[in-house]
Amino acid sequence: MKNLFIASVLGWAISAMACQPSQQKPQADSLPPKEDGAIVVPPVDSSVLIEPSRALDEAVVTMIKNNLEKKYANDLAKQLLDSTSRSFYAEAYDVNDDGNKEIFVSLMGPYFCGSGGCNVLLLKSNGERITDFTVTATPIIVSNTSSHKWKDLIIESGGKKHLVKFNGKNYPSNPSVQPVYKETVSDTLPKVLDIAHHTYPKYTF
């Protein structure tokens, strides 16, 4: 009787083990590739890394806001600008090498942007307007050539890059009618408002 009981228990244990689902081993091609026993990590594309914020001084931001509120006072009073169109990015860059940084202001939203680009204002450090660019895509590239002691700008408009030169008083406002820039743009040239690769504060007015 004792031997029969032991045999029954052993038979039950074997049956239970046979019913348990087997753990499936991962397929070899689903594992990360290895080299000398170590997992190979794909290289990071440094071109898409977001770099530190480029915030402006509070006094400069206030000056820009006052400038925009004055320039678009009538449209603001008529509530023609939605909340998105009251936002902007800005960056300071000295384009005439006089030691004072000019300020590029990229406006946003449906009021200022179309299929060819957006409005971008270029201001002196004291807030005086130099040029109101239309149909402008960012970034704006600062060339290593100059006209009237102001850097030439390479501006994309309508999907093409154009060379925009200072005429002694200001830059032409519509980049799309300026000569197409056919040369290869050097990666070493400064880029202003490079929003795709830098973190800029979004301001509102």
Q: Is the pLDDT of residue 1 over 60?
A: no
The pLDDT value recorded for residue 12 is 44
Tell me: pLDDT of 74 over 50. yes
Domain ranges for the chain:
51-204
pLDDT of residue 17: 45
Residue 53 confidence (pLDDT):
58
Largest CA distance in the chain: 114
- How many whole angstroms from its chain centre is CA 93? 17
* Average pLDDT, rounded, for the chain: 82
- Length of the chain in terms of residues written: 205
Its pTM stands at: 0.73
- Judged against a pLDDT cut of 60, whether residue 150 lies above it is answered with yes
Closest CA relative to residue 72, chosen from 90, 85, 84? 85
Residue 129 host element (H or E) = strand 129-147
Residue 16 is inside which H or E element, if any?
A: helix 2-19
The pLDDT value given to residue 146 = 98
CB 68 within 8 A of CB 88: yes
98-119: per-residue pLDDT in tens?
999 999 999 999 999 999 999 9
Query: Is there a contact between 82 and 111 (Cβ–Cβ < 8 Å)?
Result: yes
38-72 per-position pLDDT tens digit: 333 334 344 444 445 578 999 999 999 999 999 99
**Over residues 134-154, mean pLDDT:** 97
